[in-house]
A and B are shown apart, each in its own frame.
Chain A
Amino acid sequence: MAITVTENAALRIARFIKNRGRGVGIRLGVKTTGCSGLAYKLEFVDEINPDDEVFESLEVKIIVDKKSLQYIDGTELDYTKEGLQEGFKFTNPNVKDECGCGESFTV
Chain B
Amino acid sequence: MALLQIAEPGQQELQPHIKNIAIGIDLGTTNSLVASVKSGRAVVLNDYDDNSLIPSIVHYGPQEILVGKAASAQRAVDPENTIASVKRFMGRSIKDLPATHKYPYKFIDNSDNNNRHDDDNNIDNDSGDSCANNQNKIINIMTQQGKKNPIQVSADILLYLKQIAIARLGEEPTGVVVTVPAYFNDSQRQATKQAAIFAGLNVIRLLNEPTAAAIAYGLESNNEGTFLVYDLGGGTFDVSILRLNRGIFEVVGVSGDTYLGGDDFDQIIYDIIVEQINYAPKHDFKNSSETEQIRQAAKIIKEQLSLHENVHFTLKLDNQELNHEFNINITRAEFNNKSAELVSKTLTLIKKALRDAKLTPQSINEVILVGGSTRMPNIRQALTEFFAKPPLTNLDPDKVVALGAAILADVLVGNRRDDWLLLDVAPLSLGIETMGGLVEKIIPRNSTIPISKAQEFTTYQDNQTAMSIHIVQGERELVADCRSLAKFSLKGIPPMVAGAARIKVVFQIDADGLLLVSAAEETSHTASSIEVKPSFGLTADEISQMLSDSISHAPDDMNNRLLSEAIVDANALIKTVNNAIAKHSNLLDDTQQQQIMIAMDKLEKIIQKNTLALPSEQPQIHMPHNTATTDKLEDNLDIKAQTAYIKQLTKSLNELTQNFAAALMDEAVRVGLTGQRIDKI
Assess A/B contact in the complex (Cβ within 8 A): yes
Asked whether A31 lies within 8 Å of B14 as measured between CB atoms, the reply is yes
Asked whether A106 lies within 8 Å of B222 as measured between CB atoms, the reply is no
What are the residues of chain A within 8 A of B40 when measuring CB–CB?
Answer: 82, 85, 87, 102
One of B3-11, B24-32, B93-101, B634-642 contacting the partner: B3-11
* B-contacting residues, A12-27, CB 8 Å: 13, 16, 26-27
What are the residues of chain B within 8 A of A56 when measuring CB–CB?
Answer: none
Asked whether A98 lies within 8 Å of B9 as measured between CB atoms, the reply is no
Asked whether A27 lies within 8 Å of B9 as measured between CB atoms, the reply is yes
* A-contacting residues, B214-256, CB 8 Å: 216, 219-220, 222
* B-contacting residues, A48-73, CB 8 Å: 50-51, 53-54, 66-67, 69-71
Which residue of chain A has its CB nearest to the CB of B570? A36
Question: In the assembly, what is the distance between CA of A63 and CA of B669, in Å?
Answer: 15
Most chain B C-beta atoms within 10 Å of own C-beta, residue among A31, A97, A101: A101
Asked whether A103 lies within 8 Å of B680 as measured between CB atoms, the reply is no
Asked whether A67 lies within 8 Å of B12 as measured between CB atoms, the reply is no
Asked whether B658 lies within 8 Å of A35 as measured between CB atoms, the reply is yes
What are the residues of chain A within 8 A of B576 when measuring CB–CB?
Answer: 35-37, 106
- CB of B353 to closest CB in A, whole Å: 25
B41, CB-defined interface residue at 8 Å: yes
Which residue of chain B has its CB nearest to the CB of A68? B668
Asked whether B11 lies within 8 Å of A43 as measured between CB atoms, the reply is yes
Chain B, residues 414-457, CB within 8 Å of chain A (1/0): the string is 00101010000000000000000000000000000000000000
Asked whether A88 lies within 8 Å of B575 as measured between CB atoms, the reply is no
Place the interface of chain A in its size category.
35 or more
Which residue of chain A has its CB nearest to the CB of B576? A106
Question: In the assembly, what is the distance between CA of A10 and CA of B12, in Å?
Answer: 21
| B-side interface residues, number (CB < 8 Å) | 56
B466, CB-defined interface residue at 8 Å: no
Asked whether B219 lies within 8 Å of A83 as measured between CB atoms, the reply is yes
Asked whether A53 lies within 8 Å of B672 as measured between CB atoms, the reply is yes
- CB of B265 to closest CB in A, whole Å: 31
Asked whether B579 lies within 8 Å of A106 as measured between CB atoms, the reply is yes
Question: In the assembly, what is the distance between CA of A88 and CA of B216, in Å?
Answer: 21
What are the residues of chain A within 8 A of B4 when measuring CB–CB?
Answer: 40, 42, 87-90
One of B149-157, B168-176, B291-299, B525-533 contacting the partner: B168-176
Question: In the assembly, what is the distance between CA of A96 and CA of B571, in Å?
Answer: 14
Using A35-B657, A41-B14 as known contacts, say yes or no to A96 and B1 having CB atoms under 8 A apart.
Answer: no
Question: In the assembly, what is the distance between CA of A89 and CA of B668, in Å?
Answer: 24
Question: In the assembly, what is the distance between CA of A92 and CA of B420, in Å?
Answer: 31
Contact of A36 (CB < 8 Å), options: B2, B6, B569, B681: B569
B665, CB-defined interface residue at 8 Å: yes
What are the residues of chain A within 8 A of B658 when measuring CB–CB?
Answer: 35
Contact of A42 (CB < 8 Å), options: B5, B411, B681: B5
What are the residues of chain B within 8 A of A26 when measuring CB–CB?
Answer: 6
Asked whether B572 lies within 8 Å of A102 as measured between CB atoms, the reply is no
Question: In the assembly, what is the distance between CA of A54 and CA of B680, in Å?
Answer: 9
Asked whether A34 lies within 8 Å of B654 as measured between CB atoms, the reply is yes
Which residue of chain B has its CB nearest to the CB of A80? B3
- CB of B10 to closest CB in A, whole Å: 7
Using A83-B41, A87-B40 as known contacts, say yes or no to A102 and B577 having CB atoms under 8 A apart.
Answer: no
What are the residues of chain B within 8 A of A81 when measuring CB–CB?
Answer: 222
- CB of B165 to closest CB in A, whole Å: 10
* B-contacting residues, A74-100, CB 8 Å: 80-92, 96-100
Asked whether B672 lies within 8 Å of A69 as measured between CB atoms, the reply is yes
Asked whether A101 lies within 8 Å of B12 as measured between CB atoms, the reply is no
Which residue of chain B has its CB nearest to the CB of A71? B668
* A-contacting residues, B626-681, CB 8 Å: 654, 657-658, 661, 665, 668-669, 671-673, 676, 680-681
Asked whether B171 lies within 8 Å of A100 as measured between CB atoms, the reply is yes
Asked whether A88 lies within 8 Å of B672 as measured between CB atoms, the reply is no
Asked whether A89 lies within 8 Å of B420 as measured between CB atoms, the reply is no
Question: In the assembly, what is the distance between CA of A35 and CA of B506, in Å?
Answer: 56
What are the residues of chain B within 8 A of A27 when measuring CB–CB?
Answer: 9
Question: In the assembly, what is the distance between CA of A42 and CA of B9, in Å?
Answer: 9
Question: In the assembly, what is the distance between CA of A54 and CA of B679, in Å?
Answer: 12
- CB of B264 to closest CB in A, whole Å: 33
Asked whether A99 lies within 8 Å of B654 as measured between CB atoms, the reply is no
Asked whether A44 lies within 8 Å of B7 as measured between CB atoms, the reply is yes
Question: In the assembly, what is the distance between CA of A106 and CA of B15, in Å?
Answer: 15
Asked whether A98 lies within 8 Å of B569 as measured between CB atoms, the reply is no
Asked whether B9 lies within 8 Å of A53 as measured between CB atoms, the reply is no
Question: In the assembly, what is the distance between CA of A74 and CA of B596, in Å?
Answer: 30
Question: In the assembly, what is the distance between CA of A68 and CA of B35, in Å?
Answer: 33
What are the residues of chain A within 8 A of B572 when measuring CB–CB?
Answer: 36-37, 97, 99, 106
What are the residues of chain A within 8 A of B15 when measuring CB–CB?
Answer: 33, 39
Asked whether B6 lies within 8 Å of A44 as measured between CB atoms, the reply is yes
What are the residues of chain A within 8 A of B5 when measuring CB–CB?
Answer: 42, 87-88
Which residue of chain B has its CB nearest to the CB of A73? B672
Asked whether A45 lies within 8 Å of B9 as measured between CB atoms, the reply is yes
What are the residues of chain A within 8 A of B609 when measuring CB–CB?
Answer: none
Which residue of chain A has its CB nearest to the CB of B38? A102
A107, CB-defined interface residue at 8 Å: yes
What are the residues of chain B within 8 A of A7 when measuring CB–CB?
Answer: none
Most chain B C-beta atoms within 10 Å of own C-beta, residue among A42, A67, A88, A100: A100
- CB of B606 to closest CB in A, whole Å: 17
What are the residues of chain A within 8 A of B416 when measuring CB–CB?
Answer: 84-85
What are the residues of chain B within 8 A of A66 when measuring CB–CB?
Answer: 668-669, 672-673
What are the residues of chain B within 8 A of A90 when measuring CB–CB?
Answer: 1, 4
- CB of B329 to closest CB in A, whole Å: 45
Question: In the assembly, what is the distance between CA of A50 and CA of B9, in Å?
Answer: 16
- CB of B47 to closest CB in A, whole Å: 16
B21, CB-defined interface residue at 8 Å: yes
* A-contacting residues, B10-24, CB 8 Å: 10-12, 14-17, 19, 21
Which residue of chain B has its CB nearest to the CB of A87? B3
Using A89-B3, A100-B170, A107-B579 as known contacts, say yes or no to A69 and B17 having CB atoms under 8 A apart.
Answer: no
Asked whether A98 lies within 8 Å of B39 as measured between CB atoms, the reply is yes
Question: In the assembly, what is the distance between CA of A25 and CA of B108, in Å?
Answer: 72
What are the residues of chain B within 8 A of A85 when measuring CB–CB?
Answer: 3, 40, 416, 418
Return 29 A-B CB contacts under 8 Å, by A number: A32-B661, A33-B15, A35-B576, A35-B657, A35-B661, A36-B573, A39-B16, A40-B1, A42-B12, A45-B9, A46-B9, A50-B681, A67-B669, A70-B671, A71-B668, A83-B41, A83-B216, A84-B219, A84-B407, A87-B2, A88-B3, A88-B5, A88-B6, A89-B3, A100-B38, A100-B170, A101-B169, A102-B1, A104-B17
The 9 closest A-B pairs by CB, nearest first: A102-B39, A87-B3, A70-B668, A103-B16, A100-B169, A104-B16, A66-B672, A84-B219, A83-B219
Given contacts A87-B5, A100-B170, A107-B579, 9 further A-B pairs with CB under 8 A are: A35-B576, A37-B16, A39-B15, A40-B4, A42-B7, A43-B6, A43-B12, A53-B676, A83-B407
